[in-house]
Amino acid sequence: MNIIEANNLTKYYGKSKGIENVNFTVKEGEIFGFIGPNGAGKSTTIRTLLGLIFPTSGSATIFGKDCIEKGHEVRRDIGYLPSEMFFYYKMKVWDLLKYSASFFEGDYSHRIEMLAETMELDLTRKIEDLSYGNKKKVGIVQGLLHSPKLIMLDEPTGGLDPLMQKKFFQLIREENQKGATIFFSSHILSEVQHLCHRVAIIKEGSIIQVEDISTLQKNNYKKIMLKGENLSKKSFNFEGITNLTMEDHTLRFFFKGDINQVKEKIQPYKVEDLLIEDPTLEEIFMHYYE
Partner 1 sequence: MNVFIREMRDHLKGLIIWSVVILVFMLMVFVEFEAYYENPEMAEILDVVPRGMLEAFGMYGANLTTINGYMSIVALYLYIMLGIFAVLLGNSIIGKEERDKTGEFLMSMPIKRYQVLRSKVGAAVLNCLLLTLIAGIGIAIAVYQYSPDRENFEYISRILVAAFIIQMIFLSLGLFIAASSKAFKKSSALSVALVIITYIISVIQTLSDSVDFLKYFTPFKYYQASEILQNNGFQGIYIGLSVIIVLVANFGVFYVYPRRDLKL
What does the binding site for partner 1 look like in residue numbers (CB under 8 A)? 13, 47, 50-54, 71-76, 78, 80, 82, 84, 86-90, 99-100, 102-104, 142
Minimum CB–partner distance for residue 125 and partner 1 (Å): 18
Q: Residue 26 and residue 52: Cα distance in Å, rounded?
A: 20
Closer by beta carbon to partner 1, 105 or else 229: 105
Minimum CB–partner distance for residue 128 and partner 1 (Å): 11
Q: Residue 175 and residue 169: Cα distance in Å, rounded?
A: 10
Closer by beta carbon to partner 1, 75 or else 136: 75
Print the SS3 string covering 212-253: EHHHHHHHHCEEEEEEECCCCCHHHCCCCEEEEEEECCEEEE
Minimum CB–partner distance for residue 29 and partner 1 (Å): 22
Closer by beta carbon to partner 1, 98 or else 197: 98
Q: In whole angstroms, what separates CA 216 from the centre of its chain?
A: 15
Closer by beta carbon to partner 1, 13 or else 288: 13
* Exposure of 153 in the CB half-sphere (CA atoms within 13 A): 36
Closer by beta carbon to partner 1, 103 or else 288: 103
Minimum CB–partner distance for residue 66 and partner 1 (Å): 14
CA torsion, ordered 72, 76, 81, 85, to nearest 10 deg: 60
The edge-to-edge listing of strands for the beta sheet with 2-13 is 16-27, 2-13, 57-62, 65-66
Q: Taking the CA atoms of the chain, what radius of gyration do you get in angstroms?
A: 23
Amino acid at 1: M
Closer by beta carbon to partner 1, 131 or else 177: 131
